[in-house]
Structure 1
Amino acid sequence: MFVKRFLVGAAIAALLFPAGATALTFSTEPIDATKSVILVSGVFEPSESLSSFVSFAKGLGTRSGIVVFNSIGGNPSKAIELGRLIRALSLPTFQMRGMECSSACALAFMGGTVRFAETGSIGVHKTSFADTSAISVDDAVSYIQHQTAETISYMTEMGIDPSLLQLSLRYEKDDMRYLSKSEMQQYRVTTLGNVPPPPETEVSANTQPSASETAALPAYRIADDDPRFQIPLAKTGKIRVPKGKEFLRAGEDQKSEKLISLRNGDKVDILAIGDRWYLVRTKGKEGYVHHNWVKVDQFLSQPFDNRFIQIKSFDNFAEAAAYVRGSSLPVTAYLATNKWFAVALMRSLPPDEAAGLLKDLKEKGSVPDDAFMTVGNTYVKSVCCSN
């Protein structure tokens, strides 16, 4: 029986590969003639190579792989890297309560094309998103901003409700919040119901989600030729950061070498567009700047110093349009660079006015608690139903 054999294997693995292991390791355990577990154990370190994971996944032969975890977390960027690998390899993730998947490990779990987790098996807390040890205050602020942006981008890419981040930030590094069944469904951490699949169910890399499960995944179903949702090629822009300054970096990582200091208004030529970073030329140097900190000239035009109040985000146009039409506030839906739709107040405002209005709206209960103020650098254009 599939479930029984998996539980036995998971219990053995938990003993052989304790969650406190200091290095990330990968191993496989056959379940039956058609399925194998790929066990990810240990701590995610920034310098960790994930090439052996790819080798394990591709070396299963005729068996399909199911990724399970026994990890207390570690570096969130490395966990995100593994999550994207899991998605690229079309692997499902499957987490049992008898094993540990907490902190940054939760991010890796989110990469599964199909995700199942027992109640209380996924833990989140603040450390997964704000590791700022051994760096200056300015760099800590910048790191938190970048890490938060990277995490939100990744969550939306994987079909997770980004408001899960708000929940996780309520719990300090010495605490842990293990998600309930309803929370995992609410935040779309799981795509399968929170009960083990029956023995005859095929949970493999070839499993296709049902229509209801697909609805919880990112909506890359926008037609490529739909002119409403075409994103102009980013060619030029200006640095625009809430704190007023940023660094040109040698690589696509917030901890990469700082090449030169940049300030708001500095012009950049965009040479290449990565998933989250632009390769730019500025002041005679070439390097990388995160998407969030470049106001692209070819995108939405608003006063440079103004801020938006973002209320909700959706992975598909239909839901975003319905929310806008049903709102009592003057809102519109903006196409974002990740092809999601951000619902924000129609008009941007000077920072002090925007902050005051956001506070007032929250106190009145007119917007969700996780509504926030943003420079809106990733907003491409308004696409819907200004009311």
Structure 2
Amino acid sequence: MKYKGAAWVAVLGLLTLSANTALAALSYTAQVTDNGLRYLVVNGEFETTDDLSKFVASIQISNTQAVTFNSPGGSVVKAMELGRLIRSLRLDTIQIRNMECASACSLAFMGGILRLAQPGSIGVHKSSFSEDPTLNVADAVSAIQQMTANVIAYMTEMGVDPALLQLALTYNSDDIRYLSGSEMEKYHLTMTGTQPSADQDPQRASMPPPNISPPVLPPTAPQYPGAQANLPPPTVEPPSFAIPTAKSGRVQNYNGQAPLKAAPSSASRTVVTFMNGSALTILDDTGKWFHVKVGNRVGYMFHSWVWVAEYGAGPYGTQFVQVKSFDNYAQTEQYVRGSPLPLTAFLASNGWFAITLDRTLDPDGAEALLTKLKASGSIPDDAIATWGNAFVRKVCCTGR
């Protein structure tokens, strides 16, 4: 089978012919294109009582490769549940303007490994909360805050920029904001870097698709009976494992400050203590300690206390959620490509490889997401939130 991203672009045109009116509750219709690409249409409104085992059964029976939606929204919790199912089954999601995917449906769409959508095909707005006369104001506010936090954590888990939620919150629940192609790319809602045309006339739906050359996706192991796993290997440049010379940086330590030592040893005398953010010049690297100059003082700081400007890690003051580390690249790449989470890998200054979620967060956000992902079993119990001071550069799978 040829690269599936290009094939799904063609399917976007074919799907125009099969739009249906959304039903009251979720139902699933298996479809197949003339060239054999299988997809499942999710029809109806998300309800808390929906039994998603029927979705899994439909996927397994039809050997589906992608999911599309005809839904006005509904339960936010159920939509996120379906999104996680889509991710665990390693399915793609595609969406056209002639079939509605609005409100909570947009959350389910985010579950796709590869996500393609025509401009104007996905709508967002502020979630509405049903009135409960037994709920006092404080409890209602707490419930809304908790749901908002859950949605932010879910969007981050799926590799979507949570700033999209800020845009959605500017539109009341009785209004809707349909996203442009550039907005979908900006918020990482779509995954290809190019958007198929949305102004396609239904009468011209059978015309050849535009000549689009999407990025190559890695092969993935099948996660369900009959899954397709015959994708070609990725064609990428080999990563560089060279470690640049550290020349400058800033103090960045967990307790907000770091000591300047008289010698490269934790047992040596502390010359002075500097607060996080203090600029420094790196004079030499002893292997575990940097010989540094801070202001007019010269001494030593441990590697993990220093954010190095020459390293290609995250912005100063942000943290990573690190889920795993390996001492070799082969295992690192295998782990990243086999995970349902959006991960990337960094070469560390000690020669190891650190695997993290594919974006940085502020320290409080990193800790909150770490706790939530551990509780859900999505990441190992020994995963940590870290400054990533020793991360040199991304070396694996940044195109996911």
Q: TM-score range by the shorter chain?
A: 0.5 to 0.7
Unaligned runs of 5+ residues in structure 1 are: 213-299, 303-317, 325-330, 346-372
CA–CA distance in structure 1, aligned partners of residues 81 and 232 of structure 2:
23
Matches within 5 A, 1:315-330: 321-324=313-316
Letter in 1 for 2:319: A
Q: Which residue of 1 aligns with 2:173?
A: 173
**Which amino acid in the other structure matches residue 74 of structure 2?**
G
2:129 to 128, 131, 135: 131
CA distance in 2 between counterparts of 1:155 and 1:145 reads: 15
- Please give the alpha-carbon distance, in whole angstroms, between the structure 2 residues aligned to 1:116 and 1:100: 14
Unaligned runs of 5+ in 2: 1-6, 198-208, 218-226, 237-253, 257-309, 324-340, 342-355, 371-383, 391-400
Compared with structure 1, are the counterparts of its residues 102 and 320 closer, same or farther at alpha carbon in structure 2 (3 Å cutoff)?
Answer: farther
Contact persistence 2:366–2:385 (CA under 8 A): no
Map of 2:195 onto structure 1:
194
Residues 232-282 of structure 1 deviation map (CA, whole Å, 9 limit, x = unaligned)? xxxxxxxxxxxxxxxxxxxxxxxxxxxxxxxxxxxxxxxxxxxxxxxxxxx
**Equivalents in 1 of 2:368, 2:11: separation in Å?**
50
Higher relative contact order at CA 8 Å, sep ≥6: structure 1 or structure 2?
Answer: 2
Q: Find the aligned partners of 2:41 and 2:311 in 1 and give their Cα distance.
A: 37
SS, match of residue 102 in structure 2: coil
Check whether the contact 2:45–2:72 (CA below 8 A) recurs between aligned residues.
yes
Whose Rg is larger? 2
Q: Structure 1 377/13 Cα, relative in aligned 2: closer, same or farther at 3 Å?
A: closer
With structure 1 as the length reference, what TM-score do the two structures score?
0.54
Shift of 1:124: 0.5
Secondary structure in structure 2 of the residue aligned to 1:68:
strand
- Tell me the SS of whatever aligns to 1:172: coil
**Distance in 2, Cα, partners of 1:153 & 1:72:** 23
One-letter code of the match for 2:18? I
Residues in 1 aligned to 2:108 and 2:366: alpha-carbon distance in whole angstroms = 29
Helix, strand or coil for the counterpart of 1:39?
strand
Q: 2:319 aligns with which of 333, 337, 352?
A: 333
Work out the CA distance in 2 between the residues paired with 1:115 and 1:87: 11
Q: Tell me the CA shift for residue 381 of structure 1.
A: 4.7
| TM-score when normalising by structure 2 | 0.52
Match of 1:101 in 2: 101
What is the distance in 1 between the residues matched to 2:312 and 2:25? Answer: 43
The amino acid of 2:61's aligned partner reads G
Deviations 1:323-362 (A, max 9, x none): 21xxxxxx353547895465448xxxxxxxxxxxxxxxxx
In 1, Cα distance between equivalents of 2:313 and 2:113: 27
Distance 1:378 1:30 in 2: 38
In the alignment, the residues of structure 2 paired with residue 155 and residue 2 of structure 1 have an alpha-carbon distance, to the nearest angstrom, of 23
Residue 275 of structure 2 corresponds to none
Deviation at 1:211, TM superposition (A): 8.0
Q: Paired residue for 1:233?
A: none
Residues 160 and 167 (structure 1), Cα distance of their counterparts in 2 relative to 1, 3 Å cut = same
**For residue 35 of structure 1, what is the aligned residue in structure 2?**
37
What is the CA–CA distance in structure 1 between the aligned matches of 2:84 and 2:211, rounded to whole Å? 28
Q: Any idea what SS the aligned residue of 1:164 has?
A: helix
- The amino acid that maps onto 1:30 is V
Counterpart of 1:25? 27
**Counterpart of 1:122 in structure 2: which amino acid?**
I
> What is the root-mean-square deviation in Å for CA atoms of aligned residues?
3.7
> Percent identical across equivalent pairs?
39
Q: Which residue of 2 aligns with 1:271?
A: none
Instruction: Tell me by how many angstroms 1:3 deviates.
Output: 6.4
SS at match of 1:108: helix
Q: How far apart, in 2, do the equivalents of 1:132 and 1:3 lie?
A: 38
